[in-house]
Every structure is written in C-alpha cells, then in structure tokens.
Structure 1
C-alpha cells in the first residue's frame, strides 16, 4: 500500500491520501493544492479554505520540507518575524513554487526591499513562463523607483534569458526611462560588459530625446562608450560617414519614408539623400550641444541633377521645448565643397538640432544628393580648402527669409 501511495501522491493525491498508509505528507499537500488550484481557475484571487489549510498543516507535520504545504500555510500566518523567517527558509528549499515566489515578491514590496523584490521577480521569470509577461511588466514599472538602478544592476547584468523582454517593456514606461538609461550604462561597465548596441538602446535614446531629457540621453551615449574624441574639431559625430549610426540622435538620425530617405554607404563613405516630388522634412539630423557664439558649417556635396537653392537646406534649431531664441537663418546647400558661417544667439538653450532638410514641389523631379562630409566647428577652425557659397545662394551661404 505504501508503494501505491508513493506512486500516486502526485497524479492522484486524493486517492493516495484516502488509503491512509504512510507516507501521506506529500499526498495531503498535493491534495490540498489541487482543490485550491481548481478554485483559482475560476477566481484567481481566491484564498485557501480552512480545510485546505488544515490539510496542508497536517502534511507539514508529516513532511516538514514540503514547499507545497508551506505555500498554503504561510499566507495565512500573521505578519511578523516567525512568518518572515519561515518564508525565507522556504525560499531556500525551492525556486519553482509560484505561490512561494509570489509571497516573496509581495513581502519584499511591502517592506520596501528593492534588492529582494527584483531578485525574486528574476527567479520567478526563470521558472514560470506563464507569468513572464506580468512579472516583466511589474519589473519595468518598478524601474522608476528610487534605488532601482542599484538593485536591478546585478539582476540585469548577467543578461538573463528574459532581459530582451524587459528592455522592450521598459522603453514603453515614460516614468522609467531615466533609470532605464542609468541601468543600461551600468551593465555596459565591468563586470557585465554588455557593450553591444541593440535596437532597444536606440528606442531608449530616442524616447528620452522626445521627452526633452537630452542630458540623460547623452549620458547614455557616453555610458555606452560612443562619445569618441574628435581630433578634427568637428562637433558632429561621423561627419565623414565612415560607419552606420549606432545611437541616434547623437549619431545621425536618418529619415525613412515613402517620399524621402537617407542612408550611409560605409564603402564609399557618403550620405545619400534620395527624394521624390512632394518630399518635405529632414533627411538626416543630429543633436549637438552648442554654446552661444560663431560657428562654421562645412560640406561637400554632389547631386544627380542641378539643385534649386531651396531644395536642400541645413537648419540649426533649438531642440529644447518652450525655449525662446532668435531664429537662426537656414543655410542653402549648394553642390561642391563649401563653408558658411552662422551664429548661436545668447539664450539658455544648450541642445540644438543640425538637420539636412529637403523641400520639393509635388510636381518636381526627384533628386539624389551625395554628401562626402558635413562639419560643424567654432568659427576659425579648419576648412582651408572650402570656398564661400556664391551670393546668389544666400549672403555668405545664409539664405534670406
């Protein structure tokens, strides 16, 4: 009979328990859990009944290491040291009991222990695929908390199997973006060294930028090791188009639409801007920090056909919302190698867009334009081979209103 009990304590616990022969601890615990589980299918918030808890207590007396029995007993215990001690010890017995894990998460949240909260969420994510979406969402929401970065770094640092789902979720939580950027920079450092730039990094950078959190976005750029020294004096990243953009908008942000697109050819080292009739908007842009003063924009450009002076323009505009600043005149981009001066007026604005804009009439022919380089530098720096733009294209290269 004992053999029957042992062989059926999992698949038919009620029958095994009814026999009355030992060992009955596991059978009792499983029987109580089965009836409780059936009820939670109809009501996920259902609590264990008195009879289920009594059966679990009897199982615990017979089998003190039964995590199944403890998962029904612990939630009924009053808050206090005894409950916390038993919960902690039960957590050492198993990582796969979802009820124990949920209780660990809830208890850690109540006492404000972020380290334990994220650790138990992580364990649950690794052992319960059914709850993965809910747990990842909870972790993404909790990333906004003060202290979350320090608590999450050792959890995300080893790049667990669910980390991709986490980054996908956290970029959709505006309140969590700042801490998410700090966390991403933290796991890029030793000992984790997650240095590969992913699409989620790009979404995170753009998300911060769209919310006007430029300093945080730039800190992410630096934290990922992308802020390279620019010995040429060019304030723009990759002005010679030697690589694909890694983290816009501090690298080139390229347009992709039905009428307007831009791409970088690493082999030929150029930026191709391709537009058809009716195209309007930026083809490529980059965010740059500029102080008030005089600057010089340089470029080298060729095109598939003659370009009207109003077709291709460079614009420098304050990126910070609500900031009042005198208008900076756009610069008409003529073919050939040119340089044009412009000035950043006195203001509190620090972050500016440098954009290459296209404007084509609906019935106009399309255009393919090739930039060999674009540079932005304080006035007086470099550019000995550049020539001023002819006056017909704007005074000193600056287009009229």
Structure 2
C-alpha cells in the first residue's frame, strides 16, 4: 500500500506542481480593477491584493515556480491583506494572502495551517483549495487529494483544464477507485468532463470500468441516453485495447439479467431477438447496405434479412464469451430465396486469431450442432453471413440463434 501511495503523490504532483505555485493559483483568479478603489470594504481590499499578485505574474516580477509571494512588492501586498483582514476577518482571500506573504519557503507548514484556517470561513475559495492540493499530494493523502480536486473544480469551472490531467493520472492507481466512486456518487458538476478526459486515456480505461461498476448512483448530470453512450464507448474502448474481461464485466453488470438469463448457460445475448440491441458488440451489430436490409422486429422476436442484390457478406455480428467446454449451437429460421446462410465462430483475441474458425450451416427450419471449445480462446466473434448469386433476391427471418453450454467451466 505504501508504494502505491507514493505513486499517487508522484503522479499527481507532476500536474499539481504548476497549480500549487503562485502562477497556477492565480491563473483563473477573477480580480477586477474596481476592487482597488473600495478601501473601506475588506473583501475589496483583499481583491486588490489579488490584483497586485496577478499583475506581478503577468509582468514577470514574480517567480512562477514559487508557492509563495516573493516579489519586491511583497510587503505592500501583505499590508493590503492585513488591512483586509482587520476590516473583514471572515475574508478567506485576506487570510490566504497573509499566508502567501508572511512566511518564507522554510515556513510552508505555517502557511498551510493558515490556509486551512481560512477555508473554515469559506470552502469555495478556489485559490486556497488549489494551493492546498499540493500539500495533500505530497503527503500522499489520496482521499484528501481527490477531495481537493473536487472542491477546486466545483469552485471554478475553468479549472478543469488544469486539474483533470492530474485526476485522470490518479485514476490509474487502484487506491484511487474507492474515493473517486464516493465523489462521483454525489454527481459533481465536473462529472461529464471527467469521463470525457478518462476515455481519451487508454491507461485509465480498466479502472474507469471498475469505478463505473462500483457507482451506486449513475450519472445524474447526464441523461439516460448519455449514460448508455458512456457505457457503450467504454466497453468498445476496452475491447479495442484487448481488455475483454473488463469489458464483459461492465456489460454483464449493466445488462446482466437480459444478457445471461440468470443461469449463465446461454452464451448469446438477445438470442431470441426480442430486445433492441444495447451495449454492442456484446449484443447484435447489424449491417445493412445497398444490397441488403437487416433489422430486428422485437415484438415478433425475429431478425429479418432482406437481400435484393448480389451479396457474399456479413449481416450480423456479436462478441460472445465461450469458455472451455461443450456447447450446443442451434438455429431456427424461415427462408424464401436462394441465399445460403451460415454462422462462423472466430477467435477475437489478437494473439489467437490464427485458430481455425468453427462454421455452422443455417438451413431453413431448426438445426442443432454440438461443438467443443478446447482452445485457450474465450472470446469469439459470432458472424452471420449470407451468400446469394448475382441478380437473385432472398428473404429470411431468424427466430433464434443459441449457443448453450452443456458442460465445462
């Protein structure tokens, strides 16, 4: 555990080091000029100090790598902060700027204490929250660091660009999963941006799926369609990155009762074609083109294939999980026309694609075939294809395609 915590502190600090400096803290600080001309208002005087700090940064008078104010006008800024505090003791900005100006690099611990004291009056001061992130990251306090991310992004929407890379970096460590689940269960405003940034990072995909599995409340900031799109995209990206087990676990959690009929014997999802396909490719992908129309009639429980030109290709496909064991492949279909329909099982795991495919004829009526999987491959593409001579046409309705486990793991 200690080693993992060190990794958290290191990875987040890469991103937080810039944020915890004066430059990062004041990057998104709103410091209007009007603040400097209201000397009787403590909050306005505090903002005047903010303005001077920001001007120092813009005019290159402040070392951007320093976590404290070290510019030549430091005493002027400090006096403004003290005056602001006397006028308004509850001003978090005043307390924060005293902390930034009163202590030197060797007294950062005192600055931290004052920063945390100020947050007791206002938890929404973006600059204080951002500065304290560094402290929590260096202390390897994962829960506090992630809470700091949450507070900073809640107080300043523009901070996402600065903070999300560090948050996504932290996702890669297993120790982050539980506190992130807790944060996401509260449906924070930054949730949508978090998932978008996470999906763009291949190293985070597995833990993102674990977070998604563990969430008790799912994406209230997103519509049902957006949540389904998120799960669909995450499943597809996991498959693209050969994380089949993680993709299947997420699919099974989201669609488990329909997917596996509770008893886990049926390996084909939506085998009776009564449901609209969801979370592909573990459910049916259908392929229509200028020569064929393919669609599911859910109420009738049929997969319809209308072919009106030359075809020699794929019309439906599904990724199925077939562990080692014996299975019964069965079909039930009706057909008019000269097309020959057949199914093919082909290993989907890249290192095992050279394994020979298993092919099944699909004549009109009912058909059953026994087969065994004795290979190390567990994930197969179930491909449904049709051959039809040029100029001919064909219509078919498939009532069921089943792969049912007879024995095995």
- CA–CA distance in structure 1, aligned partners of residues 57 and 181 of structure 2: 35
Change (3 A) 1:69 1:263: farther
Q: Name the residue aligned to 1:210.
A: 240
Q: Post-superposition shift, 1:24?
A: 6.4
Q: Name the residue aligned to 2:400.
A: 373
Change (3 A) 1:128 1:232: closer
Q: Name the residue aligned to 2:132.
A: 104
| Structure 2 residue 90 is matched with structure 1 residue 65 | yes
Using the size of structure 2 for normalisation, the TM-score is 0.74
Structure 1 window deviating more from structure 2 (278-287 vs 94-103): it is 278-287
Q: Post-superposition shift, 1:314?
A: 1.1
Change (3 A) 1:317 1:41: farther
Q: Please show how residues 37-52 of structure 1 align to structure 2 within 5 Å.
A: 37-38=54-55, 40=57, 46=64, 48=69, 50-51=71-72
Query: Relative CO higher for 1 or 2, CA cutoff 8 Å, sep ≥ 6?
Result: 2
Q: Which has the higher helix share?
A: 2
Q: Name the residue aligned to 2:378.
A: 350
Q: Post-superposition shift, 1:175?
A: 0.7
Q: Name the residue aligned to 1:341.
A: 370
Q: Please show how residues 109-148 of structure 1 align to structure 2 within 5 Å.
A: 109-148=137-176
Q: Name the residue aligned to 1:150.
A: 178
Q: Post-superposition shift, 1:26?
A: 3.6
For the 8 Å contact 1:137–1:166, the answer to whether it is kept is no
Q: Post-superposition shift, 1:306?
A: 2.6
For the 8 Å contact 1:259–1:278, the answer to whether it is kept is yes
Instruction: Report the secondary structure of 1:50's partner residue.
Output: coil
| Structure 2 residue 226 is matched with structure 1 residue 201 | no
Instruction: Report the secondary structure of 2:174's partner residue.
Output: coil
Change (3 A) 1:236 1:50: same
Q: Name the residue aligned to 2:113.
A: 85
Q: Post-superposition shift, 1:184?
A: 0.6
Q: Post-superposition shift, 1:135?
A: 3.2
Q: Name the residue aligned to 1:30.
A: 47
Q: Post-superposition shift, 1:265?
A: 2.4
Q: Name the residue aligned to 1:14.
A: 36
Q: Post-superposition shift, 1:155?
A: 0.6
For the 8 Å contact 2:325–2:406, the answer to whether it is kept is no
What is the CA deviation profile of residues 250-274 of structure 1, one whole-angstrom value per residue up to 9, with x for unaligned ones? Answer: 3334446677674432222222345
Unaligned runs of 5+ in 1: 1-8, 18-22, 381-401
Match of 2:361 among 323, 332, 335: 332
Q: Post-superposition shift, 1:239?
A: 0.7
- CA–CA distance in structure 1, aligned partners of residues 288 and 115 of structure 2: 54
- CA–CA distance in structure 2, aligned partners of residues 42 and 59 of structure 1: 20
Q: Post-superposition shift, 1:94?
A: 2.4
Match of 2:76 among 49, 52, 55: 55
Instruction: Report the secondary structure of 1:147's partner residue.
Output: helix
Q: Please show how residues 205-284 of structure 1 align to structure 2 within 5 Å.
A: 205-224=235-254, 226-227=256-257, 228-230=260-262, 233-255=265-287, 262-273=294-305, 277=310, 280-281=313-314, 283-284=316-317
For the 8 Å contact 1:328–1:342, the answer to whether it is kept is no
What is the CA deviation profile of residues 90-127 of structure 1, one whole-angstrom value per residue up to 9, with x for unaligned ones? Answer: 23332333222221223322222221222122222222
Match of 1:322 among 351, 358, 364: 351
Instruction: Report the secondary structure of 1:338's partner residue.
Output: strand
For the 8 Å contact 1:328–1:343, the answer to whether it is kept is no
What is the CA deviation profile of residues 42-96 of structure 1, one whole-angstrom value per residue up to 9, with x for unaligned ones? Answer: 7798465535542342234331433223444545643653233222222333233
Structure 1 window deviating more from structure 2 (267-276 vs 200-209): it is 267-276
- CA–CA distance in structure 2, aligned partners of residues 260 and 110 of structure 1: 61
Change (3 A) 1:45 1:213: farther
- CA–CA distance in structure 1, aligned partners of residues 171 and 164 of structure 2: 11
For the 8 Å contact 2:284–2:316, the answer to whether it is kept is no
Aligned residues: 359
Using the size of structure 1 for normalisation, the TM-score is 0.76
| Structure 2 residue 189 is matched with structure 1 residue 161 | yes
- CA–CA distance in structure 2, aligned partners of residues 298 and 349 of structure 1: 21
